[in-house]
């Protein structure tokens, strides 16, 4: 049986063998491990289109900077009005054509990279979570399973629905994912839409807790570094 409303009887049937909601942070850590496992393949596939996007952007940036430099030099030392310079840049037909051409190349390259990434992630998550494991390798390492509400396999169709419904969780600025931390049954938005539950039967391993805290510490350090860099730049501007 797959899908259907989360009735108390069905939820009780799914917890007979000790399976409990996996919890938000355990699910996050499993997802990050899966992404780490996939990163070499994603890097290999996405490197070419992302290089094209980067090259097109750098070419556009260099061309526009040269255009501005030429106008500044032509002004013979006279300070140009930045707003007038920007207006002239955008009013130039050659610049408009260049911007449109380069942005089209950038959009096409990013679109190709996004499509490749979605295809890889879809095959990975749907194949593993609809298998007898009922879990990706990352989830399996943490003792997590993706089940139907009665504790059985979710099935290929509902697993696919769950994966693509995950886009709504991302588009809601992760509020859909945050539901897993707020609800007593630990179900996120895409779990609710697909009739799924994500469960575990054992406490989170010690190494997993250490890894999670390590990620938190790295995030705090990165955020602090960005803030310090911003304050340094503001200080440099104030000193001008």
Q: What is the pLDDT of residues 46-101, one digit of tens each?
A: 999 999 999 999 999 999 889 888 887 776 656 567 788 888 888 889 989 999 99
Task: Specify the pTM.
Answer: 0.78
Total number of domains constituting the chain:
2
User: Are 183 and 224 in a shared domain?
Assistant: no
Helix, coil or strand: residue 146: strand
Residue 222, domain extent:
205-240
Domain contains 1:
no
**What is the per-residue DSSP string for 30-53?**
HHHHHHHHHHHHHHHHHHHHHHHH
Q: What digits encode the pLDDT tens for the residues 107-160? A: 999 999 999 999 999 999 999 999 999 999 999 999 999 999 988 999 999 999
The per-residue pLDDT for range 147-196, each reduced to its tens digit, is: 999 889 999 999 999 999 999 988 888 899 999 989 999 999 999 999 99
Indicate whether 2 belongs to any domain. Answer: no
148 and 211 within one domain? no
Q: Tell me the backbone φ, ψ of residue 174, rounded to 5 degrees.
A: 70, 10
Question: Do residues 67 and 175 share a domain?
Answer: yes
Q: Is the per-residue pLDDT at 29 higher than 60? A: yes
In a shared domain, residues 134 and 218: no
Cα–Cα distance for residue pair 135/130, rounded to 1 Å: 8
Beta-carbon contacts of 13 under 8 Å, excluding residues fewer than 6 positions away, are 150, 151
44 and 95 in a single domain? The answer is yes
Kindly give, in sequence order, each residue whose CB lies less than 8 Å from that of residue 200, ignoring residues fewer than 6 positions away: 19, 20, 21, 22, 23, 26, 142, 143, 144, 145
Same domain, 166 and 128: yes
Same domain for 191 and 213: no
């Amino acid at each position: 049986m797959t899908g259907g409303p989360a009735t108390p009887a069905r939820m009780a049937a799914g917890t007979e063998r000790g399976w409990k909601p996996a919890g938000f942070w355990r699910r996050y850590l499993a997802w990050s491990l899966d992404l780490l496992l996939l990163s070499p393949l994603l890097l290999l596939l996405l490197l070419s289109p992302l290089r094209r996007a980067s090259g097109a952007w750098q070419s556009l940036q260099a061309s526009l900077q040269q255009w501005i430099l030429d106008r500044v030099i032509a002004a013979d030392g006279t300070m140009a009005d930045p707003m007038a310079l920007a207006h002239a840049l955008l009013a130039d037909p050659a610049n408009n054509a260049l911007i449109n051409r380069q942005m089209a190349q950038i959009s096409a390259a990013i679109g190709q990279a996004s499509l490749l990434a979605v295809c890889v992630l879809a095959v990975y998550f749907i194949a593993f979570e609809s298998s007898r494991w009922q879990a990706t390798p990352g989830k399996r390492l943490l003792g997590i399973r993706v089940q139907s509400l009665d504790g059985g396999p979710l099935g290929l169709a509902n697993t696919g629905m769950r994966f693509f419904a995950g886009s709504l969780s991302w588009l809601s600025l992760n509020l859909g994912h945050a539901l897993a931390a707020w609800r007593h049954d630990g179900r996120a938005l895409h779990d609710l839409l697909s009739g799924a539950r994500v469960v575990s039967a054992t406490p989170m391993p010690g190494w997993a807790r250490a890894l999670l805290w390590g990620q938190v510490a790295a995030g705090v350090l990165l955020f602090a570094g960005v803030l310090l860099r911003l304050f340094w730049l503001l200080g440099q501007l104030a000193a001008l």
